[in-house]
Amino acid sequence: MILFPPAKINLGLRVSGKRTDGYHELESLMLQLPWCDILEIVPQEKFAFTCSGIEIPGDPDSNLCTRAYRLLQQQYKLPPVSIHLHKNIPMGAGLGGGSADGTYTLLILNRLFDLGLSADKLRSYALELGSDCPLFVENMPQLATGRGEILEPFPIKTDGLYIHLLNPGIHVSTKDAFDALELGQQPFSIREILQKPIPQWKDQLKNDFETTVFVKHPEIKDLKAKIYENGALYAAMSGSGSTLFGIYDQKPVPLFPESAKIMEKIVLL
C-alpha cells in the first residue's frame, strides 16, 4: 500500500509559556500542503526499512516510520513488513515531513491489517511519536493548542492561492529555538487574526521563533524580505525554521531557479 505524507506550514506560531510537563503552550494554524513524501508498506517475511530521495541521517531504528510500526506491532502483534520511504520534504526545516511520515505509517498499517482504529485512537498513537504528529491523521486546516495535540478544524479559504517555499538548508535546532524564546510576546490571538483578510496578516500574524532565529541567522530574515519584494500577500517562517513561505494570489516568479543551495518549491492550494 502506498500513501503520500504531506508537508505542513504554520500560519502564526505563538508560544505563551512552559508547561509543568516540560512542553510549551502554543497556538498555531497548521495547513497541510500538496507536496509529499512517498511511503510504501507491504507485508514481508522480515522487517525492513529502506529509503531513497533526500538522505536521512541517523539510525533507521529511530526513524518515526520504524517507531510507528513498533508501536502498533507491540499492541496488535503485527506481522513483519517492508517500509520504503522516498523523501522529498527536507528534514529539520519546520515542514513536519518526519511527523507526517510517522503518522502515515500508522494510517497504512491500520488499513493494511484491518485494525479498525478510529481517528481519535490514531491521534492518540500519533501523539506518542511527537506533538505535531496527530495533525496528519486528517487532512484539513487545524488550529493547534496545548502542546500542539489539541486540534480543532478551522475553516480557512485557500483555494487558488499559491505557496512559495524557500529552504536555505540551514539546520535550526528546535530545542535551541525553544530555549531562546521570550514567551508570551504576541498581543493578538491567532484565531482572531486569521479571520481578517490575508494582506492584514503581515503586521499581526507572527511566528515567535522568528525573533531569535533571525538574530542567529540573518540570511533567513533576508529571504523573508525577498519574498515580500516578490509580491507576496504574506510571508513567514514555518515552525522553528528554517523554511520560509509566501502566500500569493497569482503564481510567483521563482527567486533562485539556478541555486543548488536553496530549495525552492511553488505549490497551488
Catalytic residues: 8, 132
Instruction: Tell me the HSE value of 232 on the side-chain side, using a 13 A CA sphere.
Output: 24
Helix, strand, or coil (residue 155): coil
Beta bridge mates, 13: 28, 207
Judge whether 166 and 255 are in contact, CB under 8 Å: yes
Judge whether 105 and 65 are in contact, CB under 8 Å: yes
Residue type, 161: L
- Name 17's Cβ contacts closer than 8 Å, sequence gap at least 6: 24, 25, 183, 184
